[in-house]
Amino acid sequence: MLQNDTDTITGIDVEKVRNDFPLLTRKVFGKPLVYFDNAATSQKPSVVLDALEDYYRRYNSNVHRGVHSLSQEATEAYEEARKKIAAYINAKHSHEIIYTRGTTESINLVAAVFAKEFLKEGDSVLISAMEHHSNIVPWQLVCEEKKAKLEVIGINENGELLMDDFDSKLTGKVKIVAVTYVSNSLGTINPVEEIIAKAHAKNIPVLIDAAQAVVHLPIDVQKLDADFVAFSGHKIYGPTGLGILYGKEEWLNKLPPYQGGGEMIKNVTFEKTTYNDLPYKFEAGTPDVAGAIGLGAAIDYINSLGRDNIFKAEDELLEYAMNALTAVKGLRIIGPLDNRVGSISFLLEGFHPFDVGEILDKLGIAVRTGHHCTQPVMDFFNIPGTVRASLSFYNTKEEIDALVKGLERARVILS
């Protein structure tokens, strides 16, 4: 469902698109900001900021329950956003799009209701060794409660999944597979289509953590045939506080509600409550209306540039960055060298990632340091953490050069 303006890849005029992101003009410690923490959150284009302001200034009201005009307008915009999101990931129905607070809540939702209905003592849940803590802990919690086992697909030294290990652990005891499409700390793109196909051959559903993937790869949930897909709006240029859970209609209908409250009910008496239809069954309480409208605006923005143009620009920048970084003396990439996205984790041999991050910060370069909420990955590589530079299409080659220079500077200062 690619909505390219031109249907051809024309590329991105980076200087022009940078003007769309007001924050990028900032200075930090007197230096022009170089923002390389895009995997944590992306910056927001003006059209998203305008959509938020317009909503609050002109038609802020609660959705779905008001007969008055403002409520109608807000409801329309809110539901229109749902349709845009559904189209963006090629969901069959817009009611397969559940609004949540973020990827974390999306996964917690599935873990909680899936376990309640389908997980029993002696069953297992299969995740991978490169999961973000938010795709580990929710499953750990339900496994503890149900006396089920959490099984983990191993990884190799390049930060890739051991598919043999996956095959051998995909036993009849597995009730659900939950894996990330793209590793946030390693940048690895996982063969999720293969994982889904193999799991489905054994009638096992699959949840895909697409928090990182949704920014850099075209997601087509029907082609993937994923049962659940979780991601956050703020990583694809939308506001914080709104996440998405895609679920196949048949699965969402089979699962019990998550939280109780307003919006998710049809009829309430003290004896019995009947639940609302999809997607509202999973959306208790007043939702993040502004967040949804903001994400809708972000998707419009992506489509206006052309998703393929964005990905092409990112690929070029990634290639440039990998060449530049691997040429830095003593720099070790943690993660694969290809089949990856632009979240580049690395270490400067002999220097603590925290020290490197501190020096880069003082040079105006924002990177992430630490374990990136993937402690098991750091344990696997036996490192205290990494420096992670994560790129976006609005970054420039000059910024990569600034990073390389910053690393050289850090080495001199820290030596």
Shortest Å, Cβ 30 to another protein? 9
Nearest C-alpha neighbor of 185 from the set 412, 46, 398, 384:
384
Burial of 241 (C-beta count, 10 Å sphere; 0-12/13-18/19+): middle
Nearer of residues 70 and 413 to another protein, judged by Cβ: 413
- % helix / strand / coil in the chain, to the nearest 5? 45, 20, 35
Nearer of residues 172 and 384 to another protein, judged by Cβ: 384
Which residues are near another protein by CB under 8 A? 29, 351-355, 358-359, 362, 369-371, 384-385, 413-414
92-95, long-range: CB < 8 A, 24+ apart: 92/222, 92/249, 93/249, 94/279, 95/249, 95/277, 95/278, 95/279
Nearer of residues 185 and 188 to another protein, judged by Cβ: 185
Shortest Å, Cβ 384 to another protein? 6
Bond into 279 cis (ω within 30):
yes
Shortest Å, Cβ 49 to another protein? 25
Task: State the catalytic residues.
Answer: 373
With left for phi above 0 and alpha for psi between -120 and 50, is residue 251 left, alpha or beta? Answer: alpha
Residue 102 and residue 198: Cα distance in Å, rounded?
28
Shortest Å, Cβ 117 to another protein? 36
Nearer of residues 83 and 362 to another protein, judged by Cβ: 362
Give whole-number Cα distances, 25 to 15, 16, 53, 324, in Å: 12, 13, 21, 24
Shortest Å, Cβ 182 to another protein? 23
Nearer of residues 138 and 385 to another protein, judged by Cβ: 385
